């Protein structure tokens, strides 16, 4: 997804203390975030915290010439691709229903044409009051989207509905609103993570792949409305929302899983770090030191694993097939050779010699290497950002069919 512009409106509920976390969650997904606060919100969270986390000044006043000079309230309303109101007080929702505009936040909410995502938070009786129930219904009817509130223990001491949703959940809801379902009707198979090739009952040969890139790709495909199967190697990551996961530890298991999903797949992205070699004769039992004798060494014979990418590229048909190449040197040349050898549509080349990108970390600097010989170099991006760029290209390829 292109970085989108999110205006976060914070009103005066105790849950405002969670908004710095929400800003971080939105920023981690690559979004540009600005904040505006009601006067009551300032009692619960300082503008300085939000300013530091967004890297942008925080708007609080309608009638402050300095603030208005920077980006005026209409400019702010027009700037946003999405407005998130979190926490949304009972008072602010009532004002939205009435169309009041007596401070900066309510005025911007009246002026903006961006979609609105509301995360209410309040005492259980305030939420249950007929006035609030009616206000929520009226806002829903106007096309406002709600996330939460959740049930649980409330800051005021009561139990019940009223807690603001977790920042991650609000960020998910924001992403769902921002993304068009441009991959609806596609079946995307993604492989992710490293493989573990057994030596014996407890040991294996593995690699440093964390699976983060492939998981981000699966999450992005799901966000764009695709039917997604994620074939996961060795990784401890949670399954992204809306994705069907199949676990496959070794290269042979991964091959089997990929082939089982291939017929239905329209797009295959092979981001897993599949071992090229595996121990020739893994022992079903644990190899014990005592059985080998004192100081004895072991020689592992490794045999080549099947080349899954080449195998599925040979059965390509109308599918779009994307491979990954993790290289430590001559990155582009190695990716070009891989592309020519395997016959896929695109290779995403990773320079793993960089410390700030590639394995284990949350960011990646990749190049797209095309069959035409063209190379596109992307800046250092969060892995979710790389995934978005990748699907922008895949959608173009599929649109051109």
Ligand X SMILES: Cc1cc2nc3c(=O)[nH]c(=O)nc-3n(C[C@H](O)[C@H](O)[C@H](O)COP(=O)(O)O)c2cc1C
End-to-end CA distance of the chain: 22
157 phi-psi bin (left φ>0, alpha ψ -120 to 50, beta other): left
Residue 15 CB, nearest approach to ligand X (Å): 6
Containing 54, the helix (H) or strand (E) segment is helix 47-54
Tokens standing for 162? 């009223």
Instruction: Calculate helix-pair angle for 19-28, 167-178, nearest 10 degrees.
Output: 40
92 binds ligand X (CB under 6 A): yes
* Among 361, 356, 15, 380, residue whose Cα is nearest residue 167: 15
Residue 162 CB, nearest approach to ligand X (Å): 7
Q: Rounded to whole angstroms, how far apart are CA atoms 120 and 117?
A: 10
Binding characters for ligand X, 7-36, by CB under 6 A (x = yes):
----xxxxx---------------------
Residue 11 CB, nearest approach to ligand X (Å): 3
257: Cα separation from own chain's centroid? 24
89 binds ligand X (CB under 6 A): yes
Residue 332 CB, nearest approach to ligand X (Å): 54
Residue 123 CB, nearest approach to ligand X (Å): 7
Residue 35 annotated among the catalytic residues of the structure: no
Binding segment (CB under 6 A) for ligand X, from list 68-76, 89-97, 170-178, 180-188: 89-97
**For residues 9 and 199, which CB has a smaller minimum distance to ligand X in the complex?**
9
Binding segment (CB under 6 A) for ligand X, from list 90-98, 142-150, 265-273, 323-331: 90-98
122 binds ligand X (CB under 6 A): yes
CA angle 14, 175, 9 (to 5 degrees): 35
* Among 342, 346, 340, 339, residue whose Cα is nearest residue 320: 346
Q: Rounded to whole angstroms, how far apart are CA atoms 342 and 278?
A: 21
Catalytic residue among 131, 156, 292, 314: 156
Is 88:119 a contact under the CB 8 Å cutoff? yes
State the number of binding residues for ligand X (CB under 6 A): 15
Contacting residue, 121, 147, 348, 357, with ligand X by CB under 6 A:
121
**For residues 13 and 148, which CB has a smaller minimum distance to ligand X in the complex?**
13
Tokens standing for 126? 């305030």
**For residues 12 and 30, which CB has a smaller minimum distance to ligand X in the complex?**
12
Binding segment (CB under 6 A) for ligand X, from list 61-69, 120-128, 259-267, 307-315: 120-128
Binding segment (CB under 6 A) for ligand X, from list 57-65, 84-92, 212-220, 380-388: 84-92
**For residues 119 and 273, which CB has a smaller minimum distance to ligand X in the complex?**
119
91 binds ligand X (CB under 6 A): yes
Is 130:98 a contact under the CB 8 Å cutoff? no
Tokens standing for 381? 């991006």
Q: Rounded to whole angstroms, how far apart are CA atoms 385 and 379?
A: 10
167 binds ligand X (CB under 6 A): no
Tokens standing for 159? 């139990």
Is 390:217 a contact under the CB 8 Å cutoff? yes
40 binds ligand X (CB under 6 A): yes
Q: Rounded to whole angstroms, how far apart are CA atoms 98 and 60?
A: 21
149 binds ligand X (CB under 6 A): no
Q: What is the per-residue DSSP string for 258-298?
A: HHHHHTT-SEEEE--B--SEEESS--SS---HHHH-TT---
Residue 233 CB, nearest approach to ligand X (Å): 44
Tokens standing for 237? 């990551």
Residue 41 CB, nearest approach to ligand X (Å): 5
189 binds ligand X (CB under 6 A): no
Tell me which residue has tokens 């010989």: 373
Contacting residue, 9, 27, 29, 38, with ligand X by CB under 6 A:
38
119 binds ligand X (CB under 6 A): no
Binding segment (CB under 6 A) for ligand X, from list 26-34, 85-93, 197-205, 274-282: 85-93
108 binds ligand X (CB under 6 A): no
Residues recognised as catalytic: 156
Query: Residue numbers of the site for ligand X (CB under 6 A)?
Result: 11-15, 38, 40-41, 89-92, 121-122, 126
């Amino acid at each position: 997804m292109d970085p989108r512009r999110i205006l976060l409106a914070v009103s005066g509920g105790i849950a405002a203390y969670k908004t710095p976390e929400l800003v971080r969650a939105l920023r981690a997904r690559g979004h540009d975030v600005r904040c505006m606060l009601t006067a009551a919100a300032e009692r619960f969270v300082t503008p300085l915290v939000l300013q530091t986390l967004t890297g942008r000044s925080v708007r609080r006043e309608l009638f402050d010439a300095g603030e208005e000079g920077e980006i005026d309230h209409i400019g702010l309303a027009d700037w946003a691709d999405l407005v998130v109101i979190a926490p949304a007080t009972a008072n602010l929702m009532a004002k939205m229903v009435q169309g009041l505009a007596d401070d900066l936040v309510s005025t911007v909410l009246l002026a903006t044409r961006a979609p609105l995502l509301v995360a209410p938070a309040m005492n259980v009786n305030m939420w249950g009051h007929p006035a609030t129930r009616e206000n929520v219904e009226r806002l829903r009817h106007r096309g406002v989207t709600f996330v939460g509130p959740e049930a649980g223990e409330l800051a005021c001491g009561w139990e019940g509905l009223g807690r603001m949703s977790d920042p991650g959940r609000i960020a998910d809801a924001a992403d769902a609103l921002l993304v068009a379902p441009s991959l609806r009707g596609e079946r995307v198979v993604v492989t992710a993570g490293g493989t573990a090739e057994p030596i014996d009952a407890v040991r294996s040969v593995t690699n440093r792949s964390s699976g983060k890139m492939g998981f981000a790709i699966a999450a992005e495909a799901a966000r764009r409305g695709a039917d997604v199967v994620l074939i996961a190697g060795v990784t401890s990551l949670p399954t992204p929302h809306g994705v069907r996961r199949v676990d496959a530890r070794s290269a042979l298991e991964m091959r089997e899983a990929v082939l089982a999903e291939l017929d239905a797949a329209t797009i295959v992205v092979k981001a897993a770090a599949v071992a090229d070699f595996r121990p020739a004769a893994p022992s079903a039992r644990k190899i014990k030191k005592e059985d080998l004798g004192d100081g004895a060494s072991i020689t592992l014979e490794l045999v080549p694993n099947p080349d899954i990418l080449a195998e599925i590229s040979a059965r390509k048909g109308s599918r779009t097939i994307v491979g990954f190449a993790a290289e430590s040197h001559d990155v582009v040349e190695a990716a070009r050779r891989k592309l020519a050898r395997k016959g896929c549509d695109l290779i995403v080349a990773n320079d793993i010699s960089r410390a700030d990108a590639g394995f284990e970390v949350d960011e990646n600097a990749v190049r797209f290497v095309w069959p035409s010989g063209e190379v596109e170099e992307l800046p250092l991006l969060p892995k979710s950002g790389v995934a978005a760029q990748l699907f922008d290209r895949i959608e173009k390829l599929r649109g051109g069919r």
